[in-house]
Structure 1
Amino acid sequence: MKEKFTVESLLGQLNLGGAAEAETRSVKLPEKGVVKEMPEVAPVVAEPFRIPSTTEGACREIEKLKGKELLAIDTETTGLDPLTDRIRLIQIGTPGEPPLLLDMFSLDRRSVSAALNELLGDTGATKVFHHAKFDLSFLKTTGIDVEGPVFDTMLAEQLIVCGLANSPVKLADLSKKYLKRPLSKEEQKSDWSGGLSKEQLEYAARDVTVLLELYSPVSEAIKKARLSEVAQIEFEALPAVVALELNGILLDRQKLGKLTAQLHGELEEAKAECRKLFGDEINLNSPKQLLEALEKRGIKTDKTDASTLKSMEKKHPEVAVILRYRKASKAVSTFTEKLPGFIHPLTGRIHPSYWQLGAATGRFSCSDLNLQQIPNEPGFRGCFVPAPGNKFVIADYSQIELRVAAVISRDPVMLNAYRTGEDLHRQTAAILTGKDPSDIDKKERQLAKAVNFGLLFAMGARGLSDYAENSYGVKMSVKEAEDFKEKFFAHYTGLRDWHKMTNNGNHYEARTLKGRRRLWDSASSLNGRLNLPVQGTAADIMKIALGRLPKALESTGAKLVAIIHDEIILEVPEQRAEEVKTILVGVMESAGEGFIDIPLIAEATVADSWAGKA
């Protein structure tokens, strides 16, 4: 059986320690006149930098940094994967002193890591990074833990320019914007695994010096934009994000193999049906040929996109066959055939990349593999499983967007429903149908869900009609949608007034309850200005919970393995699953304290796979 992967076990596999000891040396950067090979780049660092070549010398230099209130930290690595690549240099800058460069290939890793753990574990010092997730991940796998407070200039700048086009956030971009000078990144992609050149050392020292200089103007820009509180939320979520990526999630290859075989069978069956209907020569992936084939069978349409075909499938069986083919084809090509390629060779797990500000609302985005795009079907999600001896604890927020909208709009009906534990969907269904809430059936509640979520962001009648059918399988005419809309806003007057106020307000900026901001280059839609406060506040709540999770889960053996929208998945030793479930629910439900004055509900389950979510 494959040994269970942990970050701790990885540290033992990486042979990074020990090297020849030599004298501690101080290296001066070249005089101004020497930098004529790159005249477009002014020298940023006019001071010498320190690069001790003995472990004892390195530890002495690290000791001198203790008690400093501000430390800028950067790393140079042999690659981009913290699980297989290694840190070559760790650069540390502090005001008024030359930057310290630690060559981890020429020093004893364990001794230097121990000294750095003492330094970076000091909660009295602010640690400044640019793209902190990257550096923290490499430091973690090297055995170095960083305690807050942390300030990430990249995340900070993303908050400042959120929503604006052409707003790059790389270190060189920030140097140009705030310090008014260019920064060469030519050495970034050079080989950091061999002997280090003078140019590489200068580059490393320059980067950490620029980072140190950026702290003041970027932190001032955060304060000026009234983003300090939300920046703190983002920074405090970093340890959870680092753990999330390093932990990864396990894919059951046997289950995936069975699913792949099943989907190939469904694909071939759908292909055969399509060819029987439209002829052997048809290219099912050609919209032009599909339009012609449908027209020959008397089915008139000018588009073959999914929503158009879905609206026609009940009337035309031929369309249903095309949709079955497309679903099976996409499942095979996009998911089952590609999933094995994401399995990490060292850990045997999939390690997606999570981007804290991947969406303008402040919600996470995910890549390599994008778990948010895995179909919400048991066959697919059942392939993601905990390691042997473990369970998944899966929790997500119940109706988080509607709860946030109730707080923002101060709608009295919605607030009362959530405070008294009523089912808002059932109440809406009663309004739409004229029935007593106790008499509402499952189909009518589904109708109400479509109306609640559709009208929350000012959807029009035609849009609501399409949304209800495509997202909830609920048929409603445009006339019915208009009637439902009128009844809905006559009942939820606070929501109606919030829509009006937002429509008459600032068309270029919107904020969440925690102050997260989105800007627009040109006048925005009402939908966008309603969406940001709700989705963004939900993101704030999720990230507050993530910031608290690592401490709450200490000594439980639980690992954070996935985040999908409002859902958190933990991998937990089987005997502690119920205990951790209680902890997770408590952390999630308390994350709105102080700004959400109605109960937040997190629904949790213990499961043997991702498909086991209740």
Structure 2
Amino acid sequence: MDTIYFDTETSGLDPFKHRPTLFQIKRASDKTIRIFNPGKAKLGSSKKIKGIKELLESNLVVGHNLKFDLKFLKHHFNIEPSNIFDTYIAEILISGGQKARQKGAATLETVAQEYTGIQLKKDQNVRQSFNGQELNQEQIQYAAMDVAVLPEIHAKQRQQLKELGLEKVFATEMSCIPATVWLELSGTPIYLEGAKKLEQETKEKLESSRLTVLTILKEAGYRNLDLEGMPAVNLDSPAKLLKALKAIGLDLASTDESTLSTLKHPVGKALKEYRKHQKLLNTFLEKLPKHINPATGRIHANFNQYGTLAGRFSCSKPNLQQLPRDKNIRALFKGNNGSKIITADYSQIELRILAEVSKEPKFIELFNSGGDLHKLTASLVFNKPLDQVSKEERNIAKTINFGLSYGMGGGGLQSNLKDNGIEISSDDARKYIDTFFKSYPNVKRYLEEAGQSAVKYNEIRNIAGRLIKYRPATNESERAAILREGKNNPIQSLNADILKAAMGRLYHKLRPHSAKLINVVHDELVFEVPGEHAETVSRIVKEEMEAAGREYLKSLPVIAEVTVSDVWQK
């Protein structure tokens, strides 16, 4: 097997609208860089395309940001390399995730300069000049250099990955790239007529909630009224809204969500309702239809598989991971032509990871017996038998269980519970948290040690070996942030590793079943499949997701919950 250094030039960024205009190929065993115009393949050079397909699918392919290149290869020529080394992902991994959050820190220009000392000339005019015609010397030099720098970068990154013990994590990342290509090319179906109807309904709710806020202000004594006798207040201006609230006797520092959550005056709840409808309308319902690709009639979002410090996916244009868990919103994503939507998510995966890493016996015993962890926590916190735990007490315990692994304190517990209609005092919040940690001493010890280690060494690893680095704290606020992230990042990042391992498995397993991967949301995978394949695919998805989890969690079962429906459900 040879190593192939590879890059493409294209006529644009959209594989459905644009085309590859150049392939640059260099074998490790050959000093020559070969430049090939794939556009000519449609005019009788299909034999060459078949040769390139065999070359790329039977050797190790090294490139920078390979997801981009592989989308064009798959869509236009059905070329699917799976043995790959992406120098872009490698660079972010080596940086401990730091370069995931630094714009331009992992571009080919930056990486080439760091590893080879060569300054690539990324002239925008030259980049956009590849149109399938004869190349001039400047274009040849530009194209060739993108491949010429790869061997040295590849060699040095391989060494660093080995020295840092990141080879296994990197292999997981590489297995996930073809799956991410599959995800982006699949696109997400959307019921456009339903979206328009929901948009109109939300506009009506927004107007109603606006009038509710203004009525409360008026009844509370606000005197600056408009010609219709309603308060003349721009609710979308934080400064003007704050002034209005102070005018009715509410001495607030701001109008942000956390402040409104602690406000006992009815205007706080009304404003949150107003903002909920406003966000739904402005962020999602008005924007989603604008992202429909005319070539496919689907939304093809950008999924960045190393989008955060901890290695989780991020999503943009549009952000399909931040859609509200509202059944009306999710119902807009429905299968086409009788196909089914399969939604699969890991059950309480972060709590299971916390059980594994902390070795907390009560957690492990509970998960192995199939019991209810939230009910157990409630019984311990409220000191009552399991069968006497109320629904509200279980909800409080659920918030505690999930929140404490994120470093949540008493104020956060109060705020989160209030958002769910449960009010407790600050003393009760502190008492509940203290009781939780007394009940689960291994959890307490693990979280404290993880946080302190992150602060001391400015880095931490999860049990898969993924490295997470922090910038040294320069003040107490930054130190507190590292302490908090150090507790959660090993858990959150392992969640990402498990999900990526599952995606890599499913990319291969589901190929015979015409399945499309249409969304990824932290611990959840969403597929669209022909109706006749739904039962088989749902079984495979469950099996492979759970098998991926078992690679990392050895003390307790990993459960994937799978739903088959006409729409995206959970």
Q: How does 1:444-523 map to 2 (within 5 A)?
A: 444-470=393-419, 472-507=420-455, 508-523=458-473
Give the equivalent residue in structure 1 for 2:229.
none
Q: What amino acid does structure 1 have at the position aligned with 2:233? A: I
Distance (Å, rounded) in 1 between the aligned partners of 2:279 and 2:40: 50
Q: Does 1:599 align with 2:557?
A: yes
TM-score (norm 2): 0.91
Distance (Å, rounded) in 2 between the aligned partners of 1:275 and 1:443: 32
* Residue of 168, 192, 208 corresponding to 2:130: 192
Distance (Å, rounded) in 2 between the aligned partners of 1:452 and 1:529: 17
Give the equivalent residue in structure 2 for 1:561.
518
Distance (Å, rounded) in 2 between the aligned partners of 1:548 and 1:439: 43
Distance (Å, rounded) in 2 between the aligned partners of 1:454 and 1:491: 16
Q: What amino acid does structure 2 have at the position aligned with 1:549? A: L
Q: Does 1:443 align with 2:392?
A: yes
Give the equivalent residue in structure 1 for 2:22.
89
Q: Does 1:120 align with 2:56?
A: yes
Alignment partner of 1:220: what SS? helix
Give the equivalent residue in structure 1 for 2:95.
161
Q: Is the 8 A contact 2:87 2:153 kept in 1?
A: yes
Query: Residue 158 and residue 569 in structure 1: after superposition, are their counterparts in 2 closer, same or farther (change >3 A)?
Result: same
Q: Is the 8 A contact 2:453 2:459 kept in 1?
A: no
* Residue of 560, 582, 585 corresponding to 2:539: 582
Distance (Å, rounded) in 2 between the aligned partners of 1:455 and 1:240: 33
Q: Is the 8 A contact 2:37 2:132 kept in 1?
A: no
Bigger shift: residues 342-351 or 407-416: 407-416
Relative contact order, CA 8 A, sep 6+: which one is greater?
A: 2
Bigger shift: residues 547-556 or 234-243: 547-556
Query: Residue 432 and residue 275 in structure 1: after superposition, are their counterparts in 2 closer, same or farther (change >3 A)?
Result: closer
Shift of 1:386: 1.0
Deviations 1:472-497 (A, max 9, x none): 44322221122112211111111112
Q: Is the 8 A contact 1:581 1:604 kept in 2?
A: yes
Give the equivalent residue in structure 2 for 1:243.
182
Q: What amino acid does structure 2 have at the position aligned with 1:603? A: E
Q: Does 1:226 align with 2:170?
A: no
Q: Is the 8 A contact 1:557 1:572 kept in 2?
A: yes
Q: Does 1:294 align with 2:242?
A: no
Q: What amino acid does structure 2 have at the position aligned with 1:322? A: L
Deviations 1:105-134 (A, max 9, x none): 334353322222222221xx2110100100
Shift of 1:82: 1.0
Give the equivalent residue in structure 1 for 2:342.
393
Distance (Å, rounded) in 2 between the aligned partners of 1:71 and 1:372: 35
Give the equivalent residue in structure 1 for 2:108.
171
Q: What amino acid does structure 1 have at the position aligned with 2:121? A: S
Distance (Å, rounded) in 1 between the aligned partners of 2:451 and 2:484: 9
Gaps of 5+ in 1: 1-67
Gaps of 5+ in 2: 227-231, 474-478
Distance (Å, rounded) in 2 between the aligned partners of 1:464 and 1:318: 22
Distance (Å, rounded) in 2 between the aligned partners of 1:503 and 1:251: 42
Q: How does 1:119-138 map to 2 (within 5 A)?
A: 119-122=55-58, 125-138=59-72
Query: Residue 83 and residue 491 in structure 1: after superposition, are their counterparts in 2 closer, same or farther (change >3 A)?
Result: same
Alignment partner of 1:505: what SS? helix
Give the equivalent residue in structure 2 for 1:340.
289
Alignment partner of 1:370: what SS? coil
Structure with greater Cα Rg: 1
Alignment partner of 1:142: what SS? helix
CA RMSD in angstroms, aligned pairs only: 1.8
Q: What amino acid does structure 2 have at the position aligned with 1:476? A: I
Q: Is the 8 A contact 1:94 1:212 kept in 2?
A: no
TM-score (norm 1): 0.85
Residue identity over aligned pairs, in percent, reads: 36
Distance (Å, rounded) in 2 between the aligned partners of 1:139 and 1:554: 17
Runs of at least 4 residues off by over 6 Å: none
Alignment partner of 1:320: what SS? helix
Q: Is the 8 A contact 1:114 1:144 kept in 2?
A: no
Distance (Å, rounded) in 1 between the aligned partners of 2:200 and 2:525: 30
Shift of 1:90: 0.7
Q: What amino acid does structure 1 have at the position aligned with 2:446? A: W
Q: What amino acid does structure 2 have at the position aligned with 1:189? A: R
* Residue of 72, 85, 88 corresponding to 2:5: 72
Q: Does 1:216 align with 2:147?
A: no
Shift of 1:506: 4.6
* Residue of 354, 357, 366 corresponding to 1:417: 366
Shift of 1:527: 1.2
Distance (Å, rounded) in 2 between the aligned partners of 1:306 and 1:595: 37
Shift of 1:270: 2.6
Query: Residue 318 and residue 494 in structure 1: after superposition, are their counterparts in 2 closer, same or farther (change >3 A)?
Result: closer
Distance (Å, rounded) in 2 between the aligned partners of 1:202 and 1:474: 65
Query: Residue 557 and residue 105 in structure 1: after superposition, are their counterparts in 2 closer, same or farther (change >3 A)?
Result: closer
Deviations 1:470-523 (A, max 9, x none): 3x4432222112211221111111111212322442521111111111111204
Deviations 1:524-557 (A, max 9, x none): 5221111111000110000000000022113222
Deviations 1:7-53 (A, max 9, x none): xxxxxxxxxxxxxxxxxxxxxxxxxxxxxxxxxxxxxxxxxxxxxxx
Give the equivalent residue in structure 2 for 1:309.
260
Alignment partner of 1:249: what SS? coil
Distance (Å, rounded) in 2 between the aligned partners of 1:410 and 1:447: 24
Give the equivalent residue in structure 2 for 1:51.
none
Alignment partner of 1:75: what SS? strand
Q: Is the 8 A contact 2:21 2:132 kept in 1?
A: no
Q: Is the 8 A contact 1:113 1:142 kept in 2?
A: no
Distance (Å, rounded) in 2 between the aligned partners of 1:296 and 1:173: 53
Shift of 1:273: 3.5
Q: Does 1:402 align with 2:351?
A: yes
Q: What amino acid does structure 2 have at the position aligned with 1:353? A: N
Bigger shift: residues 439-448 or 73-82: 439-448
Give the equivalent residue in structure 2 for 1:47.
none
Q: Is the 8 A contact 1:71 1:212 kept in 2?
A: no
Alignment partner of 2:16: what SS? coil
Distance (Å, rounded) in 2 between the aligned partners of 1:189 and 1:253: 36
Q: What amino acid does structure 1 have at the position aligned with 2:127? A: K
Q: What amino acid does structure 1 have at the position aligned with 2:325? A: N
Q: What amino acid does structure 2 have at the position aligned with 1:563? A: V
Q: Does 1:255 align with 2:189?
A: no
